Structure 1
């Protein structure tokens, strides 16, 4: 059975959805999570997942449990001067390389057009980097839906009202939210360092559209927007986006990680088990957030000052001299002073297993939304130390609106923080009542009935959208 782009989402006939994420695993993962959610919730759905050829084995592993209903198809990235020929995701690239990867992905348009013409799916869910999918899908009768992998609060800061008259905003103008933004939000004003970071969104590289330009084209061309959130958590921002875009908004519900498989590596299991329940601070910043040397040093001094056991994971861009980078960050005498209670690691760890270990009580992280939800679901107190982009927005949303974390205090003009700020945030999070509304949101996120309702409602709305074609 196959979809046809002509409304084949009717009862008893398979609805065929194509997934086309940006080539960063922080984007690929939510697309894969949504795929698993869709497939497990409805046997009449099938998915084709498009990604660069070099990512296929990893994506297939992510979708192994849904293998019978999902096909992962490779795209051949065209050669781009300056881009390593083996590059398939941002994990292997510098910031400049990531911009070149957008050039390469734009070059796959003819392949994607051919595939959509052959597959004739009912809908294609695409990412911010490829708004041209709308132009390819429309003549085929395929519903092009922009899938926003960020929080609704983040998207709400990049709506058309951000650039009245098409004028690119200055860093100073970005300290204020766009017109009509929810007035009681903690994001109505941003500190100078966060506004300066946001200017990237409006910059053009290699003569290509800026990220903001791509967002606006997504809004203009798409048939609707899919978001991995819910009204309970981000209602005012969802309403604002709806008013700004004027297109259908489909809510998939917050993506909650599936329980981890297997056991925690013995090395970490025995080390963590040597400490009391809920005593360990686990500090980790995801696979693509790298702390500058000075920030990492203050983080380590702060963890030392907590007088608690801790495990800090520090990672570096691909190709970096890991040993040299670590040496540049570890304070003099630090290893001797924290011997027996502190560990610094670089490289992959079983994050979910570690978070669920009974001795881990605090999770210090970069406020990536998926990471924060992982920590919350595991029952950890959250300390938030965002380093870029949407992480700043997430931290404000989590700590000041949902009340599920403590932000590390920063200097407004440049975002600097010291070891004492880290130590104070951990102390606040671990104090009595330091989990705020954590228990309420943990129960909400882990309620099977709630999650099934989100999945069911989303699939129903998706099929209604397809049937309306």
Structure 2
């Protein structure tokens, strides 16, 4: 604990998605390193999936809760990982129904601060208990900025999203070069305007949390998203805190022996690693195109993917004869893997990512060349930022209207970044290396976390 600083007790209640829970746990580890105490509230059965990430069990305590039943939600489902993205509104409804339980927990714990993201009722609850609230957002600032501009444009035109031309960025958006395809516009406006638990629109849930919380913070840094930090601070009308990248502590773990042994059988920088996070489930036709594209590259590959829609396992949906053709040089795995450690393995030279916020940060600090293949809301903007603004990766081409990719487009993107002679390949490698070196500058993350802790102390007073 730094001189002049006292130990704070913080509670955390992240959205019931593994990516959000792990992001909050990484922050909890950083805060615990500095002597702070964290009570981490999460669904009962989910605890076993993430407790290995807790590096400070003497300071980070898990508080398991039972999820209330909701019509339309499978009885076993606690997180998006257990269900699907399409059932997200039911997961959110279940989370909203825990408000009374959370009140009782907070009355007993008496923390100084509560971190939350989607539970927009949290600021009013904490205020009534004399507790401060921090809306800690793990999605990117570019996505939140786009959403703010969209909403303003909708209001000014007294219109709904599908009546507006959003293929050009909405007015006020910091980067006018960011353009979306027709299918992306439809998806983005549909999600932002959809009901997201308990009759609350997705955008309204975010904006209410932002407006009522005592502080707003992002898991990001100015080195990547400076224009969006400035824009959001002005738009919110309140200070914006940045925790920095909050990278996982890779040195605290060892890569599973079966993966270490398999990867070591290939030349340095030759393996393509492909993963789309804990939530994404492709349709079978797109899974086939992805796998055939990996085969077409000629590179060895490891693909960690969830079973596609309508299938119990990823193996059952693979193209006919695929397993035999790639035997010895390609693996498709349907379970969880240690992504940070795989990216750090010398044999891995390319990362095909869905561009979720956490995976994006892990990609940028890795030595791997980056191919982006976004699937869902914020990932669309993240991918554009990486491939068009920062130019540190290449995006897989998709159809303008249908949003479908082909095996040829997957292969083309991989070969572009892996070609050390191509102009595009050279440019993205140089830009990636510059940003990687900046993000890994000694004490950069420490300075963000130290500043973050000082702001927390000031908030409590």
The TM-score with structure 2 as length reference comes to: 0.91
Aligned to 2:423: none
- For 1:147 and 1:57, the matched residues in 2 are separated by 23
8 Å CA contact retained: 1:411, 1:417:
yes
- Residues 120-154 of structure 1: CA distance to partner in whole angstroms, max 9, x if unpaired? 322211112x1100111122332221111101101
1:115 aligns with 2:105: yes
1:51 to 22, 25, 42: 42
1:137 aligns with 2:146: no
8 Å CA contact retained: 2:92, 2:198:
no
1:439 aligns with 2:433: yes
Structure 1 residues 394, 118: CA separation in 2 closer, same or farther (over 3 Å shift)? same
Deviates more, 1:18-27 or 1:294-303: 294-303
Deviates more, 1:444-453 or 1:258-267: 258-267
8 Å CA contact retained: 1:283, 1:312:
yes
8 Å CA contact retained: 2:5, 2:457:
no
Structure 1 residues 20, 267: CA separation in 2 closer, same or farther (over 3 Å shift)? closer
Deviates more, 1:83-92 or 1:257-266: 257-266
Q: What are the residue-to-residue correspondences of 1:341-352 with 2, within 5 Å?
A: 341-352=329-340
- Residues 81-132 of structure 1: CA distance to partner in whole angstroms, max 9, x if unpaired? 333333221111133433212111111111222233333322211112x110
Point out 4+ residue stretches in structure 1 off by more than 6 angstroms: none
- Residues 145-190 of structure 1: CA distance to partner in whole angstroms, max 9, x if unpaired? 11111011011122252542575322644434333111x3433x31
SS of equivalent residue, structure 2 residue 430: coil
- For 1:309 and 1:59, the matched residues in 2 are separated by 30
SS of equivalent residue, structure 2 residue 342: helix
- Residues 268-305 of structure 1: CA distance to partner in whole angstroms, max 9, x if unpaired? 33332222211111112122212211111111222122
8 Å CA contact retained: 1:50, 1:75:
yes
Structure 1 residues 367, 218: CA separation in 2 closer, same or farther (over 3 Å shift)? same
2:12 to 15, 19, 43: 19
Aligned to 1:4: none
- Residues 38-58 of structure 1: CA distance to partner in whole angstroms, max 9, x if unpaired? 121x22x22121122222333
Structure 1 residues 205, 271: CA separation in 2 closer, same or farther (over 3 Å shift)? closer
Aligned length: 450
1:39 aligns with 2:32: yes
Aligned to 2:82: 92
Aligned to 2:412: 424
Q: What are the residue-to-residue correspondences of 1:32-431 with 2, within 5 Å?
A: 32-40=25-33, 42-43=34-35, 45-63=36-54, 65-128=55-118, 130-159=119-148, 160-164=151-155, 167-170=159-162, 172-182=164-174, 184-187=175-178, 189-198=179-188, 199-204=190-195, 208-316=199-307, 320-322=311-313, 325-330=314-319, 332-431=320-419
Aligned to 1:451: 445
Structure 1 residues 353, 208: CA separation in 2 closer, same or farther (over 3 Å shift)? same
Structure 1 residues 258, 352: CA separation in 2 closer, same or farther (over 3 Å shift)? same
Query: Greater relative contact order (Cα 8 A, min sep 6): structure 1 or 2?
Result: 1
- For 2:3 and 2:443, the matched residues in 1 are separated by 25
8 Å CA contact retained: 2:93, 2:198:
no
8 Å CA contact retained: 1:59, 1:72:
no
Give 1:359 shift.
Answer: 1.6
Structure 1 residues 58, 301: CA separation in 2 closer, same or farther (over 3 Å shift)? closer
The TM-score with structure 1 as length reference comes to: 0.89
Give 1:313 shift.
Answer: 2.5
Structure 1 residues 206, 253: CA separation in 2 closer, same or farther (over 3 Å shift)? closer
Structure 1 residues 87, 356: CA separation in 2 closer, same or farther (over 3 Å shift)? same
- For 1:10 and 1:164, the matched residues in 2 are separated by 49
SS of equivalent residue, structure 2 residue 332: strand
- Residues 333-366 of structure 1: CA distance to partner in whole angstroms, max 9, x if unpaired? 4344434322323222332332222221111111
The alignment yields a C-alpha RMSD, in angstroms, of 2.4
8 Å CA contact retained: 1:306, 1:427:
yes
Give 1:214 shift.
Answer: 0.5
8 Å CA contact retained: 1:280, 1:311:
yes
- Residues 57-87 of structure 1: CA distance to partner in whole angstroms, max 9, x if unpaired? 3343322x22122222122322223333332
Q: List alignment gaps of at least 5 residues for structure 1.
A: 1-8
Structure 1 residues 74, 168: CA separation in 2 closer, same or farther (over 3 Å shift)? farther
Aligned to 1:28: 21
- For 1:285 and 1:116, the matched residues in 2 are separated by 35
